[in-house]
Structure 1
């Protein structure tokens, strides 16, 4: 017994065993000792505040992974949001699609002294602000939601249209319709484009297609309304614009009540601890408890500064959600949109002037824009439905190619109204499908659903230079070709206002048609490369997954190098 106590004494120096010659006496005294549990105690905590104690947790049952963020993909609230966004699109973006009517009317009345390029700058700046403001509005939508943007855009658009009805000079029309209306429509454009993406995933392209189809429907109704009111007795330019402002305000007021974005939960952070151990904070010691607390602000300056910080809203930093690593599929997709934007709106604005050069009456020329927008309704809805079935990029690539081929094969060879109507229908359907499917491709390339608004804004900002410069460049080409044709022919100079020589006017549009088809073809090629980059990224992700499972690397040479890119492009 003495040997056992000696061993315990050597293990724990904090316990002293009194010497005893009689083992019986020591056994009787043993139950009375309460500090015998000190043999199982851990050493005391270290005195340093920087030291941590690692305590092993008992093995627990592994928890299942968190459920992924699911989308409703239907239901009354989801489709009510689509309905409200479609109404806003009809009255807001529909005015942009109807600018061709204003282009022709200005050339014949208020701005008859200006050429087609100068008039195109009004609509070009309008759509430029619509797309460029996405750098800011996409981030604002992610932080504050859609309701404030929609109300502000509705008020600003109505005010700008009211000012347009009193405008007679170029600068007045430029400020009211180009700047004011462009900013008002931009405030409404990004919410209606992003809100359906928060409610749908499997049917996202179809939902966005229905929303953007409202703009094509507005492109049908507004030209017919303006064409009737411009020439109606008792009306004219000013009353017609005021009627359009009243219709837009009433419809948008009803539509905003249906729109409410869905909050997307943040994904859980990944676990970085591979073991079941946990690091405990340093224990409370006498030095920690006696440490003085940080002083409170006592001076009036400090108190006032903290009060202002508490009153100010938490404004997010001006971040563009760009990562250090280049997202190649998104970059190629944005580059394709940059080229496509130079020719996307040129036929929409110049198709009426082209039909007048074919000898059509002014009343009939109005219906070419209506036919183009009517085909856009079918293209947006049908294209979105087909994109959900066969894939967004799989539908985007042939659509981009068809709109380029239609400019080369149909528009450039048109010598009458039947061919012009056929081109208007084909281009109207394909260009409308491109606008809706391209936006859904951005949502597909964005893995974090909370950043869809910011990424959509960046994508639209990439289209802004082409939107701004495309129609004016086409107008400059048209004016140069007209002057060149007037010098080489014996006929007097043409003004392209309906009283022109048909042959001279038709030849003047050749440069515009080739320019439009070329930039659209470059956009289609970039979309093809973006699709190949998506396949390449998926292949690399599968390789990394195989390496993590220890199954080895296979097929790496198929997604790297020039040969790998050629294989991927051929597979697309």
Structure 2
């Protein structure tokens, strides 16, 4: 049988033009056909090899080690300490504003036909939203949307403040000052805390403490400005609030320009880290945080009205200014001691027990001098408790990539304490026919429960060893 390589009789192999094909031409055709076969086999082999390479390089087969590496925090340096200054401005415009609500509590009681418990809802909802939106703002920050969230928060703060200057009715003030400003607080505060925490490790509590001093400086500036303009000038309520808004705008400019997230975005992840809620130290501390803040804000909201109604102090706003002013000491020194000597949780414990004791002692205050002494001591202790709780919340997070989400979760839990606490205390004052005893007992007992839970959180974390720095 003839094969492909066996040329037929040359005489029987005519070409297309009818002429006979020579031996050389025939051999050339045979070689060309063989080359085409080998070329087709090579292409098929290349395709198979390419498919294998694509499969090996597919996302499912890329090792997890190729994900963006999380570098350790610098724990110092220019950018890290710059973010402490920027976060100070954030505290100034969030905690400084909420700590100043005592001025507006007193003014609204005089100008609006509503009981103290109704007025307190404005301040309590504002603080509630500062905490509540933390879990959403924190997760968005982890996902790489810090600038979007932060800018939205600043705009909401300014919008709510300037709208408040146009309000004359209770419901209008509630929507503007409580809802709009409160949402702005939340969208600003939690992302700033997340970014600040990512720049520090061993000095994180010190950094948060220094930033938290902004709550005290804001608590001095805002009530002093409001008091001077509302009660000692003819400028009136609308322009008083507008001036407050312009101060807020000016002090937010550095943060808008220079805040820089350090960690790479973590797109995948849950809104709530349920695994963290199964960690006993984390959940116990969150409960301690809740009870502390359930009672802690009573003095900030009602000190001015207590001085006016019970002791006849005519310029009681000065007490609110002093309460926030001495907080500079309480927000800085305890964190400094906590970082370099004891640990933040260890020093938080005596502060919370002392805060509870002071509110119990407030029951016996019956003179203006005694009230000033109480204000000075409680201002230091309460400010220390506030800043130490926040600093310890960041320390309780073990995975730095999830710090925004987990700190936001704690703040959301605490938000319900700040929402209901002042309203309950206002209702207790009404039930006591204007007396403060029931509200004082409720607040002091809440702080005491928080102190006991903080002890439980420490035991669950490190046991009974008193020498452990945490």
Q: What range is the shorter-chain TM-score in? A: 0.7 to 0.9
Q: CA deviation at 1:68?
A: 9.1
Q: Which residue of 2 aligns with 1:131?
A: 131
Cα drift, residue 88 of structure 1: 2.2
Once residues 452 and 133 of structure 1 are traced to their aligned partners in structure 2, the CA distance between those partners, rounded to angstroms, is 15
Q: Identify the residue that residue 471 of structure 1 maps to in structure 2.
A: 422
Q: Does 1:230 pair with 2:230?
A: yes
1:121 maps to what in 2?
A: 121
Structure 2 distance, partners of 1:384, 1:335, is 21
Alignment of 1:518 with 2:433, yes or no, is no
Cα shift at 1:249? 0.9
Task: Give the equivalent residue in structure 2 for 1:333.
Answer: 285
Is contact 2:73-2:201 (8 Å) kept?
yes
1:143-171 deviation digits (Å, cap 9, x = unpaired): 12532222111111111111101111111
Aligned length: 402
Q: CA deviation at 1:571?
A: 9.6
Q: Which has the higher helix share?
A: 2
Report the TM-score when normalising by structure 1. Answer: 0.67
C-alpha distance in 2 between matches for 1:345 and 1:481: 19
CA deviation profile, 1:299-325 (whole Å, cap 9, x unmatched): xxxxxxxxxxxxxxxx65653122188
- Structure 1 match to 2:335: 384
Rounded Cα–Cα distance in structure 1 between residues aligned with 2:462 and 2:391: 17
Per the normalisation by structure 2, the TM-score is 0.81
Query: Residues 360 and 72 (structure 1 numbering): CA distance in 2 closer, same or farther, change over 3 Å?
Result: farther
- Which structure 2 residue ranges, 5 or more long, are not aligned? 1-68
Question: Per-residue deviation at 1:247?
Answer: 1.2
* 523-532 vs 162-171, which moves further: 162-171
Q: 1:325 to 1:179 in 2, by over 3 A?
A: closer
Structure 1 SS opposite 2:73: coil
In structure 2, the residue matched to 1:202 is 202
Distance 1:248-1:366 versus aligned 2 partners, 3 A rule: same
Aligned to 2:306: 354
For each residue in 1:9-34, what CA deviation from the matched residue of structure 2 results, as whole angstroms up to 9, or x when unmatched?
Answer: xxxxxxxxxxxxxxxxxxxxxxxxxx
Whether the 8 Å CA contact 2:134–2:187 is kept in 1: the answer is no
Query: Shift of the alpha carbon at 1:457?
Result: 0.6
Contact persistence 1:392–1:437 (CA under 8 A): yes
2:365 and 2:229 mapped to 1: Cα distance? 30
Map of 2:243 onto structure 1: 243
1:139-158 equivalences in 2 (<5 Å): 139-158=139-158
> Equivalent of 1:103, from 99, 102, 105?
105
Ranges of 4+ aligned residues in structure 1 off by more than 4 Å: 315-318, 567-572
The answer on whether the counterparts of 1:164 and 1:176 sit within 8 Å (CA) in structure 2 is yes
Whether 1:88 and 2:90 are equivalent positions in the alignment is yes
Relative to 1, partners in 2 of residues 1:570 and 1:92: Cα closer, same or farther, differing over 3 Å? closer
- 2:456 corresponds to: 529
Alignment check: 8 A CA contact 1:375 1:425 kept = yes
Q: 1:346 to 1:456 in 2, by over 3 A?
A: same
C-alpha separation in 2, matches of 1:245 and 1:374:
21
CA distance in 1, matches of 2:445, 2:311: 27
Contact 1:92 1:248 in 2 (8 A): no
Alpha-carbon shift at residue 361 of structure 1 (Å) = 3.4
Residue correspondence of structure 1 range 182-331 to structure 2 within 5 A: 182-263=182-263, 316=268, 318-323=270-275, 326-331=278-283
Show the counterpart of 2:436.
509
What is the DSSP-based 3-state SS (H/G/I as helix, E as strand, rest coil) of the residue aligned with 1:156?
Answer: helix
Q: State the Cα distance separating 1:137 from its structure 2 match.
A: 1.1
Deviation at 1:264, TM superposition (A): 6.0
CA pair 77-570 structure 1, distance change in 2 beyond 3 A = closer
1:402 corresponds to 2:354: yes
Q: Residues of 2 paired with 1:230 and 1:447: CA distance? A: 47
Give the corresponding residue for 2:397.
446
The answer for unaligned runs of 5 or more in structure 1 is: 1-66, 267-314, 483-504, 537-566
Alpha-carbon contact 2:105-2:301 (below 8 Å) kept: yes
Partner of 1:461: 412
Partner of 2:77: 75
Rounded to whole Å, the distance in 2 between the matches of 1:515 and 1:570 is 34
Cα RMSD over matched residues? 2.3
Please say if 1:435 is aligned against 2:435. no
Conserved in 2, the CA contact under 8 Å of 1:84 and 1:256? Answer: no
Alpha-carbon distance in 1 for matches of 2:404, 2:167: 35
Distance in 1 (alpha carbons) for counterparts of 2:225 and 2:157: 18
- The CA distance in 2 between the partners of 1:175 and 1:68, in whole Å, is 41
Given the superposition, is the C-alpha separation of residues 123 and 265 from structure 1 closer, same or farther in structure 2, using an over 3 Å criterion? closer
